[in-house]
Structure 1
Amino acid sequence: MSYFYLKAIHIIFVVTWFAGLFYMPRLLIYNVEANDKEKDAKEVLQAQFAVMMKRLWYGITWPSALLTLVFGLTVLISGNWVSTIFKKEGLWLLLKLILVLFLYGYHCYTHIIFKQQLKGKFTLTSQQLRMWNEVATLFLISIVMLVVVKQGISLIWGIAGTLLLVILLMLAIRIYKRIRNNN
């Protein structure tokens, strides 16, 4: 299989993986908020959310994460990127791989939250999960910027832009909470 087909397949699985990473925290939020419903409604909602979460997590998100890894390593090796990682022109790739490693950490911690909720253990509030939901967004933006801009991006400006984005996301979450509480 040619390098460009492998790269395309890798990107497709990255997209499906992120779809799962974006939707799963929303389901976790809804599952937590079902605790505020009356007993019958709570049981029905949480049973439905459990089915949805299991299908999403085991049917889409985990397979996509694993295939992203397999095809990503294949692209890394077949594109001879391994020899570039520790050179100046490969700094963007090294940073990307570090972010991807942290992204897998995010994925695994989301898995822990998912398993806890299936057992009826709710350790995070819906507000905390809303903030957790935005972490995947930060990873996506940071990784895509590194891949597209490569050496053209200054590390300082990259960090400053990411911090600004974090502040804006936190403000948006607070504003949303205030509007929701007023309604």
Structure 2
Amino acid sequence: MANLYIKSLHIIFIVTWFAGLFYIVRLFVYQTEALEKPEPERSILSKQLALMAKKLWLIIAWPSAIITLILGTTMIIQYPDMLKLPFMHIKLSFVVLLYVYQLYCHKIYKELQQGVARLSSIRLRIFNEVATIILISVVFLIVLKNQLDWIKGTLGFVGVTVVLMIAVQAYKKIRERKE
């Protein structure tokens, strides 16, 4: 029974971790755009967005990432045979990628807290999709427990995303022509 509680908590903290990752990059976009505003709007927005980012990052995202790691490690220790499953090696590789993503987000966070924006808001919007692709890949891996089927699911998602991006760009051009 204790194992089910650990698994449940693991899932809950994965959800809060991803919520933090999804929202922090959105805040990065807003912070970057705020730096381009004239004063006093720039100062007001920058101060508020920096505070929001700090609370999200330090109170939700990082603690959730750490608790997720502890609970995931606990489950592997309890069930070491999981490491014999080939799909787990791929899943754990994605988890490592997600922590690398988190560390890169931390670098961006620290720069933006100092008022430095090295990436444009467009690049940050694209960067925001990295966590989404990792999430989708891991969910397909865990549910299907197959090394190949997750590729189909992820590629399908990427394909739909590309089609949507093309459609949005086409709509934007049509709208600009009408104006």
For the criterion TM > 0.5, the same-fold answer is yes
C-alpha change, 1:97 and 1:3, in structure 2 (3 Å) is same
Structure 1 pair 60–84 and aligned structure 2 pair: CA distance change class (3 A):
closer
Is 1:140 the equivalent of 2:132?
no
**Native 8 Å contact 2:83 2:89 kept in 1:** yes
Once the two structures are aligned, what percentage of the paired residues are identical? 41
Unaligned runs of 5+ in 1: none
Q: Please name the residue that 2:28 is paired with.
A: 28
CA distance in 2: counterparts of 1:140 and 1:56, whole angstroms: 19
Q: 1:25-174 to 2 correspondence within 5 Å?
A: 25-78=25-78, 80=79, 82-86=80-84, 90-151=85-146, 155=148, 157-173=149-165
Work out which of the residue numbers 154, 164, 179 in structure 1 matches 2:172. 179
In the alignment, the residues of structure 2 paired with residue 123 and residue 138 of structure 1 have an alpha-carbon distance, to the nearest angstrom, of 23
Unmatched runs of 5 consecutive residues or more in structure 2? none
Deviation at 1:36, TM superposition (A): 2.6
Task: Write out per-residue CA displacement over residues 121-159 of structure 1, whole angstroms, 9 at most, x where no aligned residue.
Answer: 1110011000111111101111111111113xx51x533
* TM-score, normalised with respect to structure 1: 0.87
Would you say the 8 A contact 1:10–1:72 is kept in 2? yes
Instruction: Check 1:120–1:60 CA distance in 2 against 1; reply closer, same or farther (3 A cut).
Output: same
C-alpha distance in structure 1 between counterparts of 2:122 and 2:156, whole Å:
20
- Distance in 2 (CA, whole Å) between partners of 1:7 and 1:25 is 27
Structure 1 residue 94: Cα displacement? 1.3
Cα RMSD of the aligned pairs, angstroms, is 2.1
C-alpha displacement of 1:38: 1.4
The whole-number CA distance in structure 1 between the counterparts of 2:55 and 2:163 is 32
Contact conserved, 1:131 with 1:173, CA < 8 A, in 2? Answer: no
The amino acid across from 1:168 in the alignment is V
Q: What is the CA deviation profile of residues 55-114 of structure 1, one whole-angstrom value per residue up to 9, with x for unaligned ones? A: 000000000000000011111111x1x23423xxx1111111110010000111011011
Does the C-alpha gap of structure 1 residues 45 and 66 become closer, same or farther in structure 2, counting only changes over 3 Å? same
- Conservation of the 8 A alpha-carbon contact between 1:14 and 1:65: yes
Quote the offset at 1:163 in angstroms: 3.3
Give the AA of the match of 1:162: T
Judging changes above 3 Å, is the alpha-carbon distance between structure 1 residues 98 and 85 closer, same or farther for their aligned structure 2 residues?
same
Report the counterpart of residue 10 of structure 1 in structure 2.
10
Residues 9 and 161 from structure 1, CA distance in 2 versus in 1: closer, same or farther, beyond 3 angstroms?
A: closer
